[in-house]
Amino acid sequence: FGIAAFLAFTLGLSLRWTFWWFFVWAFTIAYGQVYVGVHYPLDVICGALLGTLVGWLSSRLFRKWVDLEAPSKQSGV
């Protein structure tokens, strides 16, 4: 869920139609883990919440870092 949240909040803001597909992708993988008995549902829910939080924070830091590194536009040239 961390990667899905990072991609959704970074790329999904400019490509609106992809935002929810990242979470559908993560949910499908999480459901599969519970279905085959590798994880308990509570493990997956807690991991999804924590992963979404970390992905969101990482996206905010990444977007802030990218904006700082962008060259400034000069007017009058």
As a whole number of angstroms, the longest Cα–Cα distance in the chain is 64
Q: Is 71 domain-assigned?
A: no
Domain membership of residue 75 (yes or no) is no
| CA dihedral sign of residues 43, 45, 51, 57 | negative
CA pair distance 29, 44, nearest whole angstrom: 10
- Confidence at residue 63, expressed as pLDDT on a 0 to 100 scale: 87
Q: Is residue 74 part of a domain?
A: no
Mean pLDDT by 10 residues, the chain (77 residues): 90 80 92 94 94 94 76 56
What's the domain range around 52?
2-66
- Kindly provide the b/e burial profile for residues 29-49, where b requires at least 16 CB atoms within 10 angstroms of the residue's own CB: ebeeeeeeeeeeeeebeebbe
**Spatial distance between the Cα atoms of 45 and 74, rounded to a whole number of angstroms:** 48
The answer as to whether 24 is a domain residue is yes
Total structural domains in the chain? 1
Whether 49 is in a domain gets the answer yes
Residue 73 placed within a domain:
no
Tell me whether residue 77 is in a domain.
no
